[in-house]
Structure 1
Amino acid sequence: MRRVVIGTAAVSMAVSLAACGKAGDKKDDSGSSSSGSGSKTIGLLLPDSVTARYEKFDKPLFEAKVKELCSDCTVEYANAAADPTKQAQQVSSMITKGVKVIAISAQDSAAIKSSIQSAVNKGVKVVAYDRLAQGPVSAYVSFDNEKVGELQGQALLDALGKKATKSSKVVMINGDDADPNAGMFKQGAHKVLDGKVDIAYEQSGLWKDTVAAQKMSAAITQLGAKKIAGVYAANDGMAGGIANTLKGAGISNIPLTGQDAELAAIQRIVAGTQSATVYKAYKPEADTAAELAVALLQGKDLKSLTDTEVTSGSGDKVPAKLLPATSVTKANIKDTVVKDGIYTVQEICTAEYAKACKAIGLQ
């Protein structure tokens, strides 16, 4: 069994879109949709409204898989709206409602520890979803996040080509340290980039496009517009803010990475203002999280669903499933996000991008 150590997290984080209930569902003041409570209710807690994937893909995929596996199970959903205090309140609310299993993507992996401990003390099982929350969680599903960082770093080197030299100045805008994944992305990227380029400016963008844009502006002021060879952005949301700053500064034709394969990022790749993103197939992750949650609800063993073990920032050893990810460039848009039905060619190739799509054979 492979063991992965995931470092201690710190304070805050971001990712998802506001909670929306089914027709006729009641909503409580935490943004949770009430679809029932009791012994066959599973909670799903997502962290915020910044990254579109959680609301558009993860939530409906998770709910559908739970229903497939357990026809009389219900899912109680809530979104933290980037507020760790609110997420802690949502955990308490779910305990009160009698939820027996909670799948949680932590807004702040360290701050949520006491809430998870309280849930476990009440007999509630917890699945860490996408981000490894601290505390006594029963299982964890995510991607091999260090490998994601390696993919990002390699995509940047590939885009730089012959310009990738030890004197080439690269800007790194990392994620929020409160998210343990951010540290893994950073570690993986450094593993590939160190010694091959000069990382001349490195800051956290807190997973926010506005913060990333500000950091990029500061990097341009510090290094000079003509001295920047490329930019590592840890996700697509921040890459969007950075792309706008680069355009405003008159900087073009330099590599810019991302992650999450957001539609806007795919369109930037088509247009040439972003060089690559990382596609993490949402369905396998959501399906695995649902399978783990239902198995815990039914008292089943998790060995068939996990194949490794990780150690969280709180020192807890957690059975885990880490999924592979794929780097996406102009060359494989059709074979990744289009093939998997994430986006249609029509959604990508709107009037603004039609000419660029035709140029790369995306029709």
Structure 2
Amino acid sequence: MRRAFAAVLAVALLASGCTETLKTDATGGGPAVRVALLLPERKASRYEAGDQPYFAQKLSELCPGCTVDYRNAEQNAATQLQQAKDALDQGAKVLVLTPVDSVAAGEIVTEASNRGVPVISYDRLVLKTAVDYYISFDNAKVGALQAQALLTALGPKASQGEILWINGSPTDNNATLFKQGAHAGLDGKVKVAAESDTAEWNPDNARAWTAGILPTLRGRTIVGVYAANDGTAGAAIAAMKAAGMPAVPVTGQDAETAALQRILVGEQYMTVYKAIRAEAEAAAALADDLVRGRRPPGTSTVDNGAGQVPSILLDPVAVTKETIAGTVIKDGFVTPGALCAGQYADACRAAGIG
């Protein structure tokens, strides 16, 4: 696990709120080399707080003559396509793309390929179109970690009731992999009362589904919740609280500060920590290679339906109350000051977090 650093790169928001240009300290007097960073949404805090500044900071170190052209699609695939075309029109030499829609994003890759511009499929895999590189985590393992943690939390209760199952967006290939990994670990070991995908990863959609399904399950014992990420976990917890239900073990992912605080006070059982800084810095290093005309091999390959994609896959880590101090705190992903503010101070002390 790589130790994270506290520095965060400041960004300048344009009036649209969707496009930011972050220029490094270019040297030599020539025009900057543009690298486009195309991220999918803002609902998950990681993209704005982690991926974008970490990527920009690392590329600035490696390539002082590069400009990061950052754009956020706000969960709209058509917007992302237009943003990619705009970035290419403005001279982007590399696209680093986290697709809103893993299949529809093939049009972005094709457009870039026609202009001789390589594409790094970042965090989420573009499907059914040949892409140059893929950098992410072992996403089936994320689901497996969630499944194992939920079984551990349930213990004998796994056979004494049912669980709610909340997946991520059906247009995100990662969500498919999380689901596959979780089903492989939980099928035959728990009974599922109801299962749903969450359009656009939107917590509001997850909360509405949970609130709507609970009245249909009266008289049945809900002993846990499989939630694919921290946003859907928080939504399920809120809906169950509103319905007057007792707390049950709930999974999550992304190690968001709010989720870690819920874990500290017993509202959520676990999350999955993905070292976003390491992922973003690996993408920046690869983008620098591509700008300089180098084509390094991946450490593995992944089949995206159009062939084997050179890939770099990082390891995710399960986090529970007992391991917060030794994982996300130790790695600098979240600070004790942010985690332990206000009402969470006592819970932090009890968990050994100073």
Normalising to structure 2: TM-score of the pair? 0.91
Q: For 2:277 and 2:35, locate their aligned partners in 1 and report how far apart those are by CA, in whole Å.
A: 18
Q: What letter is aligned with 1:287?
A: E
Match 1:118 to one of 111, 122, 141 = 111
Aligned-partner Cα distance in 1 for 2:10–2:131: 27
**Structure-2 separation of matches of 1:199 and 1:142:** 29
Paired residue type of 2:161 = S
1:316 is aligned to 2:307: yes
Out of 345, 349, 352, the residue aligned to residue 358 of structure 1 is 349
Residue 82 of structure 1 deviates from its aligned partner by 1.2
CA contact (8 A) 1:39 1:99 kept: no
User: How much has 1:30 moved relative to structure 2?
Assistant: 5.1
The one of 93, 104, 118 aligned to 2:97 = 104
Give, in angstroms, the shift of residue 224 of structure 1.
2.4
Match of 2:293 in 1: 299
Tell me the CA shift for residue 74 of structure 1.
1.5
Q: Is the 8 A contact 2:142 2:272 kept in 1?
A: yes
Deviation at 1:34, TM superposition (A): 6.3
Contact kept, 8 Å, 2:22 with 2:67, in 1: the verdict is: no
Q: Partners of 2:35 and 2:232 in 1: how far apart?
A: 32
1:33 and 2:33 are equivalent in the alignment: no
Give the conservation status (yes or no) of the 8 Å contact 2:165–2:195.
Answer: yes
Match of 1:6 in 2: none
Matched length: 339
Note the alpha carbon deviations across 1:97-148, whole angstroms, 9 max, x for none.
Answer: 1111010101111112112101110111100000001323210000000000
CA distance in 2, matches of 1:324, 1:357: 26
Is 1:91 the counterpart of 2:94 in the alignment?
no
Check conservation: 1:28, 1:34, Cα contact below 8 A.
Answer: no
1:234 aligns with 2:252: no
Deviation at 1:226, TM superposition (A): 5.3
Cα deviation, residue 317, structure 1? 2.1
Residues 238-262 of structure 1: per-residue CA shift (max 9 Å, x gap):
1111111111111223100110000
1:212 matched residue in structure 2: 206
Query: Matches of 2:72 and 2:224 in 1, distance apart?
Result: 35
Task: Report sequence identity in percent.
Answer: 43
Shift of 1:283: 1.2
Q: Please state how far the C-alpha of 1:31 moved relative to its aligned partner.
A: 2.0
Do structure 1's residue 256 and structure 2's residue 250 form an aligned pair? Answer: yes
Could you list the runs of 5+ residues in structure 2 that have no partner in the other structure? 1-8, 25-29
Q: Does 1:346 align with 2:340?
A: no
Gapped regions of structure 1 (runs ≥ 5): 1-19
Q: Distance in 2 between matches of 1:21 and 1:352?
A: 29
1:154-177: CA deviation from partner (whole Å, max 9, x where unpaired): 111111112122x53111100011
TM-superposed CA distance for 1:356, in Å, is 2.2
> Does 2:204 align with 1:221?
no
**Which amino acid is 1:119 matched to?**
A
Cα 1:214–1:26, aligned 2, differ >3 Å: closer, same or farther?
closer
Deviation at 1:301, TM superposition (A): 2.5
Taking a change above 3 Å as real, the CA distance of residues 133 and 38 of structure 1, as seen in their structure-2 partners, is farther
Aligned partner letter, 1:143 = F
- Asked if the contact 1:171/1:201 (under 8 Å) is kept, the reply is yes
**Could you tell me how far apart the structure 1 residues matched to 2:44 and 2:54 are?**
16
User: 2:212 corresponds to which letter in structure 1?
Assistant: A
What's 1:330 paired with?
321
2:165 is aligned with what amino acid? M
Query: For the residues of structure 1 that align with 2:238 and 2:17, how far apart are their CA atoms?
Result: 36
Residue 45 (structure 1) aligned to one of 38, 42, 50: 38
**2: CA distance, partners of 1:139 / 1:225:** 50
- For 2:152 and 2:18, the matched residues in 1 are separated by 45
Residues 225, 80 of structure 1: CA spacing in aligned structure 2 closer, same or farther, 3 A cutoff? farther
Q: Provide the rounded CA distance (Å) in 2 between the counterparts of 1:264 and 1:75.
A: 29
Change (3 A) 1:271 1:340: same
- By how many angstroms is 1:28 displaced? 6.9
Residues 237/30 of structure 1: CA separation in 2 closer, same or farther (3 Å cut): closer
Letter in 1 for 2:352: G
**Amino acid of the residue matched to residue 155 of structure 1?**
A
Please give the per-residue CA displacement for 1:275-302, whole angstroms capped at 9, x wherever unaligned: 0000000111001111111111111131
Whole-angstrom distance in 1 between the partners of 2:268 and 2:188: 24
- Residue 13 of structure 1 is matched in structure 2 by none
SS at structure 2 position matched to 1:164:
helix
2:274 is matched with which residue? Answer: 280
Report the CA distance shift for 1:291/1:62 in structure 2 as closer, same or farther (over 3 A). same
- 1:37-68, Cα deviation, whole Å (9 max, x unpaired): 96721110100110111111111110111112
Counterpart of 1:100 in 2: which secondary structure?
strand
